[in-house]
């Protein structure tokens, strides 16, 4: 489910790290402060960690460097191929936010960066419910992703991208399933999570959702 973007990621995998390091002007602002954002997320994660959409393992490496155990799930074969080389310490599985191998570990953190927007609204809701059951008491979901504050904010980002000639970005902002903050907040609250949002750059937000103890 939600894996309609995988071909794109197979093609993007070999140049993905150039994009996140700011070499592609079109996506520079999307990934502004990428390393610092991932580091903040890594610092917050409590082991054992389940990571979805690990891509080329940039977040995974930061978590593993703190001697935390990470199980990574990634649908793109090309991304997994790079992730395994860059982060041999992590267990890496084929799968997605909803379908992934059953794990025997007690999971204390579920993390993901720049990937949750690949799920449609009903898929996001399904995943969040399942993560509530999967997490240990006191466990946390910690995501970083692009969010829209509201409809006006969405269209201001799209218009701004168009004005700069960033037509791929403008198209992504319309075609991928970026959530509205209030809609995502509601999905977490209705399951029983405490949730908070912190804006990290023009596009990306840190989302923390805690399961009560
Ligand atoms: C923009 S990349 C982010 C990679 C990495 N987390 C990072 O921060 O650089 C999005 C990743 O999500 C993966 N992805 C796409 N659809 C997914 C899904 N339904 N479930 C899990 N991962 C997915 C892609 O293959 C890709 O590796």
The residues spanned by each domain of the chain are 6-147+180-211
Is any atom of ligand 1 closer than 6 Å to the C-beta of 72? no
**Residue found by looking up tokens 């990934």 in the block:** 31
Euclidean distance between CA atoms 180 and 200, whole angstroms: 16
Which residue's alpha carbon is at the smallest distance from atom 18 of ligand 1?
96
45 Cβ inside 6 Å of ligand 1: no
Contact status, residue 126 vs residue 116, Cβ threshold 8 Å: no
Q: In this predicted structure, what is the pLDDT of residue 2?
A: 65
Report pLDDT digits (tens) over 10-64: 999 999 999 999 999 999 999 999 999 999 999 999 999 999 999 999 999 999 9
- Residues 77 and 95: their CA atoms lie apart, in Å, by 10
**What atom of ligand 1 comes closest to residue 119's alpha carbon?**
19
Q: What is the mean pLDDT of residues 91-105?
A: 95
35 is in an annotated binding site: no
What is the pLDDT at residue 180?
98
Q: Is the peptide bond before 189 cis (omega within 30 degrees of 0)?
A: no
Distance 9 CA to ligand 1 centre (A): 8
Output the six-digit token pair for 97. Answer: 């936010």
Quickly name the fold that domain 6-147+180-211 has.
Rossmann fold (3.40.50)
The Å distance, Cα 115 to ligand 1 centre, comes to 4
Which residues contact residue 144 at a Cβ distance below 8 angstroms, ignoring those fewer than 6 apart?
Answer: 37, 38, 41, 112, 113, 114, 200, 204, 205, 206, 207
Does residue 166 contact residue 26 with C-beta atoms inside 8 Å? yes
Task: Phi first, then psi: give them for residue 56, nearest 5 degrees.
Answer: -90, 20
The 10s digit of each residue's pLDDT in 147-170 is 999 999 999 999 999 999 999 999
- Overall residue count recorded for the chain in this entry: 213
Q: Tell me if 96 is assigned to a ligand binding site.
A: yes
Would strands 91-93 and 70-73 be described as parallel, antiparallel, or unpaired? Answer: parallel
At residue 36, the 3 state secondary structure works out as helix
Of 159, 157, 212, give the one whose Cα is nearest residue 188.
Answer: 212
For a ligand 1 pocket test, name from 55, 128, 169 the mutation site with the most ligand atoms within 8 angstroms of its C-beta.
55
């Amino acid at each position: 489910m939600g894996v309609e973007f995988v071909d794109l990621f197979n093609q993007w995998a070999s140049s993905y790290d150039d994009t996140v390091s700011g070499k592609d002007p079109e996506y520079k602002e999307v990934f502004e402060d990428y390393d610092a954002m991932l580091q903040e997320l890594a610092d917050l994660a409590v082991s054992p960690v389940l990571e979805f959409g690990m891509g080329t393992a940039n977040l995974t490496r930061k978590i593993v460097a703190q001697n935390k155990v990470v199980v990574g799930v990634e649908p793109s074969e090309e991304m997994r191929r790079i992730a395994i080389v860059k982060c041999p310490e992590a267990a890496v599985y084929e799968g997605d936010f909803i379908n992934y191998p059953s794990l025997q570990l007690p999971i204390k953190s579920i993390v993901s960066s720049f990937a949750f927007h690949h799920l449609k609204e009903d898929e996001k809701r399904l995943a969040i419910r399942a993560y509530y059951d999967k997490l240990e008491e006191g466990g946390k979901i910690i995501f970083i992703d692009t969010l829209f504050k509201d409809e006006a904010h969405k269209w201001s980002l799209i218009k701004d991208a168009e004005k700069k000639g960033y037509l791929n970005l403008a198209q992504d902002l319309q075609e991928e399933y970026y959530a509205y903050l209030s809609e995502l907040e509601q999905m977490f609250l209705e399951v029983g999570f405490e949730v908070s949002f912190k804006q990290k750059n023009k596009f990306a937000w840190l989302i923390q959702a805690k399961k009560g103890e």
